[in-house]
Amino acid sequence: MRNIKIKRTTKETDIICELNLDGSGQYSISTGIGFLDHMLELFAFHSGFDLTLEVKGDIEVDSHHTAEDIGLVLGEAIYKTLGDKKGINRYGSMYLPMDETLARITLDLSGRPYLFYDCAYQRSDLGTLDVQNIKEFFKSITNTALLTLHLSVLYGENDHHKAEALFKGFGRALKEAVQITSNQVMSSKGVL
């Protein structure tokens, strides 16, 4: 089983994360930010990963530190559960429709962190989550999971639908990338 438990405490956040890549999409998520809870629940369900997140953050300041630090911890958990990445598919992609919205998510568990993010929102907040912190969340995951991630909302009107398409699509693309499909490292270099 590819699973891990990570605890991270700073002056801004206190996070406990449990991740099982070979789970069944079970989740228990409490971040203090309702909309982010909802997005992470969708991520867990669509990835098929078991995910527990217990978070206390300085949300009285704003949602930035909490969203960013959750991304850092979740990315670290993904990275550590993959070990030497032997046998994983490595790549994952998904076009995900959410009513009038269409998102494209592609990723490579390459060991090289890079985020391309193209999503324009009309609102500044979704619930108590500043929409800028959606990008910060994905940037943090990218940096600690050491993955290349391209997220684009190709079109759409409803900001909730845009964010939802990104989180669901990320879960599905990551599920594809972490699947064990061989007994070798999927790199001509022999290492990822």
* Strand order across the 91-98 sheet: 91-98, 101-108, 148-155, 114-118
Q: What is the mean pLDDT of the chain?
A: 97
DSSP result, 11-76: SSEEEEEEEETTS-S-EEEE-S-HHHHHHHHHHHHHHT-EEEEEEEE-TTT-SHHHHHHHHHHHHH
User: How far apart are the C-alpha atoms of 192 and 189, rounded to whole Å?
Assistant: 8
Condensed to tens digits (0 to 9), the pLDDT of residues 34-44 reads 999 999 999 99
Condensed to tens digits (0 to 9), the pLDDT of residues 130-188 reads 999 999 999 999 999 999 999 999 999 999 999 999 999 999 999 999 999 999 998 88
**Residue ranges of domains in the chain:** 3-178
Tell me which CATH homologous superfamily contains domain 3-178.
Imidazole glycerol phosphate dehydratase; domain 1 (3.30.230.40)
